[in-house]
Amino acid sequence: MPKVIYTSLNADQGPHTGILQSAGFDVQAVSRDSDLFVEENLAEAVQDAEAILAGSEPYTRKVIGSLPKLRAICRTGVGFDAVDLAACDEAGIVVTTTPGVNQHAVAEHTIALLMGVARGFPELDRRVRENRWKRGLQPRVMGSTLGILGLGRIGRAVAWRAMGLGMRVIAYEPYPNTEFVEQMQIELVEFGDLLAQSDYVSVHAPMSAENHHLMNAQTFAKMKPGSVLLNTARGGLVDEQALAQALKSGHLRGAGLDVFETEPLPLDSPLLELDNVLLAGHVAGLDTKSHYDTFEMVAEIVIELYKGGWPAFAIQNLKGVNDWKWQRD
């Protein structure tokens, strides 16, 4: 039986195990006692896998080169920046994601962060707990401007919800869905104009070498004074030290963050010292519906690959390959 090992967090529950076992796969979990972000630990944990249901642990060239049986790395999510695609191409390993299953969860979480920061959380909560009540004025969300960096599935889901709150939505997107933009009457603007006009900037760009620290000291300086940064995409898109300085100076009113450069967020992070930062632990894409759909899809992708299919909608590498087979020659 082909062996599938899952490393993804929260994978102990879901439909994938039953689906795969019914299709004749041997499904196993990794030990949660091992730090899978250490290359040696990860390589040892998945040594015998033919397919991995992967989380955000780093599949580097070194790890990939130590896994001779591996045929597929199947991410339970839409990000694949932790996987060395070039190394997978050379080894003939398919890399897949699960597009279209968690955008509503991320969008709801983004709006929750937006509304929380807009209304003064977490500081208000802390003050009540410490009997230091403070009543102050906050800008109204309705009528304010939300700037969306990246108008893909998640960005569009956020835009739709923000408009329901009465917000003006503008976006920076090099390759827009013109039908959606026209239907929702979203104004497309240049990056700098978005920063200058937005009361809230929500980051939904993909992680890449070019986008590393997309939000930095220079871009924060271009943001509208008193505006708010929201990031539910990838931690590496934001220079956290520069963000902390922009928040401390008062140039930015607040931030809502679900992702960080180092996860878990180190306890010495300057962000933890600030009352105007609302934090969550990389959970934006998690709700009961997205969880079920993600693990159902990833199991079906593995089965299709094993049977000789090619689920192109989910495959992120091996461009131009038309003779890939699960069984090696």
State pLDDT tens for residues 21-40: 999 999 999 998 889 999 99
Q: In this predicted structure, what is the pLDDT of residue 52?
A: 98
Q: Does residue 16 have an active-site annotation? A: no
Q: Does residue 135 have an active-site annotation? A: no
Distances (CA, A) of 251 to 69, 225, 247, 315: 52, 5, 6, 42
Instruction: Pick the closest to residue 238 from 273, 212, 209 (CA basis).
Output: 212
Distances (CA, A) of 56 to 22, 48, 173, 227, 259: 27, 19, 25, 30, 12
Does 14 score more than 90 pLDDT?
yes
Question: Which of 40, 90, 182, 263 is labelled catalytic?
Answer: 263
Residues 128, 256 within the same domain: yes
Average pLDDT over residues 62-84: 96
Question: Which of 234, 253, 291, 300 is labelled catalytic?
Answer: 234
Residues 127, 235 within the same domain: yes
CA atoms within 13 A on the CB side of 296: 9
CA atoms within 13 A on the CB side of 43: 12
Q: In this predicted structure, what is the pLDDT of residue 10?
A: 86
Q: Does residue 263 have an active-site annotation? A: yes
- Domain-embedded: residue 329: no
Does 329 score more than 90 pLDDT?
no
Residues 138, 243 within the same domain: yes
Question: Which of 109, 156, 282, 291 is labelled catalytic?
Answer: 282
- Domain-embedded: residue 323: no
Q: How confident is the model at residue 328 (pLDDT cuts 50, 70, 90)?
A: confident
Question: For the segment 175-224, what is each residue's pLDDT rounded down to a tens digit?
Answer: 999 999 999 999 999 999 999 999 999 999 999 999 999 999 999 999 99
- Report the number of distinct structural domains present in the chain: 2
What gap in Å lies between CA 265 and CA 247, rounded to an integer?
Answer: 18
